[in-house]
Structure 1
Amino acid sequence: MGDDINGLHHVGHIVRDMDQAMGRYRQLGFTVQAPAYPVLPRVAGGPAEPFGVANTHIYLSRNFIELVAVIDDTGRMPGEARPIPLQVPDDKLPGLTAAIRATAANITSFLQRFEGLHIVIADTPHIDSVAARLTAAGVGHGGVHAIQRPVETRTGTTMEPARYLEISDPGLPVGRVPEGRIGFAQNTPAEALADQQHNDHPNGATELIGAVLCVADPALPELERRYSTYFGQAREGQIGRFERANVTVVAASALADLLPGERPTALPAFVAYAVSVRDLAATERTLRDNGVPIIGTRPGEMFVPADAALGAAIIFRQDDRRSLTLSSW
């Protein structure tokens, strides 16, 4: 179980203000592409208008960080934002608009909990096998969906196919579990190649290598049981590690040992993600020069507190090609 997973596909940082978030991430030393937003008529024959959510991807060597913001009723978008017209037959329009509204409602509900990390998607080369495995284990999910998403390449924006699956918890809206949105995605080879065209960051970031979930101490055994059906068996304790997915689960009482000074806004909640960097000393200089606070944890690692990164602590770790995981925690 879990041998159909190749680490993380992406994490999603939900923010209140996309302009502010892009500025903050640039201060953190990331190269941030202009956000995209869908444009379509809400009723057949109506005018095309911004609708749903806007997002942008911070591409790394094999995966990415997503920034997500809900488009408000005014349709106000950042000045850099790129419209992505969606073409859909009139008879399919109600279903698509309903799906977009549901996604926006989920994102809004996440943001009502706190601004920060709410989305963790694992990478798989065999998403149909994942779906069958989860079904056999009694895990609720919405099935495999095929979509087209914008991908930035050196020659411009292309729409590339992707397939994804979201886990659903009974009693919650579709695509929701208590801690946010958990799922799996499968890239096409063309999409994976395109993602590698934008991975030069001033902070030296090379790859997304982990996400950290904090849970109340009494709830830890049940959450680890649940996650073992998603990602395979963990190494257990106050800090459980699902190594194939690069997800670490930590009891609230042990969070300060992992990330000194951090306190979760809610439980359960994703509290941090980790990226590898080419040269940690150079990363530190970039962050300090930009006025970003950093905290050292152990040799080869430091982090930016959640208070300085819009609700999600960001861990920077020296790139060691022998082990691009959080297994040393």
Structure 2
Amino acid sequence: MGHSTSRIHHVGHLVENMAEAISLYERLGFVIPPPSCPALPRGEGAEPEPFGAANTHADFPSSFLELATAVKDGDTGSLPADTHLVPLEAPAETLPLLVERIGETSANLAACLDRFQGLHIVMFSSLAIDETAERLTSAGTRHGGVNTVRRPAPEGAKTPTETIRYLEIDGDGPDTTPGTVAEGRVGFVAPLDPDIQGARRLDHPNGALELVEATLCVADSELAAARRRYETYLGLPARQEGPAHLFDLDGATLKLLPHSGLTTALPDEQPPALPAFLSYTVSVRDLALTRDLLRRNGLPVRETPSGDVFVPSDVALGTAVVFRSAA
């Protein structure tokens, strides 16, 4: 490949109520572990309380689906009882900065949720993230630089700590905040470690194998500008297929879809705002078995003209969840 963008690393579904979202995703047939959330004591000697943002994943070998929510002060009712609280531990001189950064992330999530509940995050896997940062800078695309965070690796991994290196693109609009563009949070992450990812639960009852597509819906008048923007972000050209403009990655696709082409791509779907990440697609082993599982779990199932099946956004908390045969 002539570029460093390898695939979609993960998408992020922002939800109002994490407990409700986990219940939905289990009905969709995904394995979802209990969420994690930073915690801080509200006073000297007090027990740590949830703070910032909570999240959890449905994991695949090379990608994952993220569920995330902003945690409001004093409001823990939207978090499941088994939420894993992670007390913030840092030297006294760095703790305020850490709290500030977590607060900024939570504020960005809350702003996205104020816009609508649904898909707001698409992060791409970069094989050379420092080179990607340099390429974006040279192209005039603002970003926050490469950040490094570490977290405990799952039980069974060969290394005790997972290192995550990422960058977030900054939008140019007057209303965008650092780390966001008009449609949400877009950026790059160094590839997942195969050993660490393999230690996670990857066997989903719905037969899901990988994240293979994300769809961004834009106003027809903004399609050309969105295409140029993502050609700059990804460092590769798009190709046109019907009304859509597609970016072919390694085993995955980013689809830019004009609003006028929506009815033929995802029947009866309408974005609550534009631009908007409208849906994501996962590949499955046996589409017929996946369809049966969804119906048994009381979820409505629709079909696209191309033969994929999907659960509509009005049921799936603001995003259409699409399933595609791996064959």
Task: Give your verdict on TM over 0.5.
Answer: yes
Q: Deviations for 1:138-193, whole angstroms, at most 9, x for unmatched residues?
A: 0000000000135434579954111000000133211010000000001463xx32
Tell me the TM-score normalised to structure 1 length. 0.91
Letter matched to residue 63 of structure 2: N
CA distance in 2, matches of 1:136, 1:46: 49
Aligned match of 1:16: 16
Aligned match of 2:188: 184
Runs in 1 of length 4+ with deviation above 6 angstroms?
42-46
Match of 1:225, SS? helix
Aligned match of 2:227: 224
User: Are positions 1:318 and 2:318 aligned together?
Assistant: no
CA distance in 2, matches of 1:2, 1:70: 38
Residue pair 1:280, 1:300 contacting (<8 A) in 2 also = no
Letter matched to residue 268 of structure 1: P
Q: Deviations for 1:178-227, whole angstroms, at most 9, x for unmatched residues?
A: 000000001463xx322233111111100000100000000110111111
CA distance in 2, matches of 1:29, 1:156: 28
The runs of 5 or more residues in structure 2 that have no matched partner are: none
Q: Equivalent of 2:274, from 261, 267, 280? A: 267
Alignment of 1:1-329 (within 5 A): 3-41=3-41, 48-76=48-76, 77-154=79-156, 159-170=161-172, 171=174, 172-187=176-191, 189=193, 192-196=194-198, 197-231=200-234, 232-236=236-240, 238-244=243-249, 246-298=253-305, 300-320=307-327
Residue pair 2:171, 2:180 contacting (<8 A) in 1 also = yes
Q: Could you tell me how far 1:297 is from its partner in structure 2?
A: 1.6
Letter matched to residue 166 of structure 1: E
CA distance in 1, matches of 2:57, 2:63: 9
How many residues matched?
A: 318
Q: Deviations for 1:117-137, whole angstroms, at most 9, x for unmatched residues?
A: 000000112100100110110
Tell me the TM-score normalised to structure 2 length. 0.92
* 1:249–1:9 distance in 2 versus 1, CA, 3 Å: same
Q: Could you tell me how far 1:47 is from its partner in structure 2?
A: 5.6
Match of 1:6, SS? strand
User: What do you get for the CA RMSD once the two structures are aligned?
Assistant: 2.1
Residue pair 1:40, 1:48 contacting (<8 A) in 2 also = yes
Aligned sequence identity (%) = 44
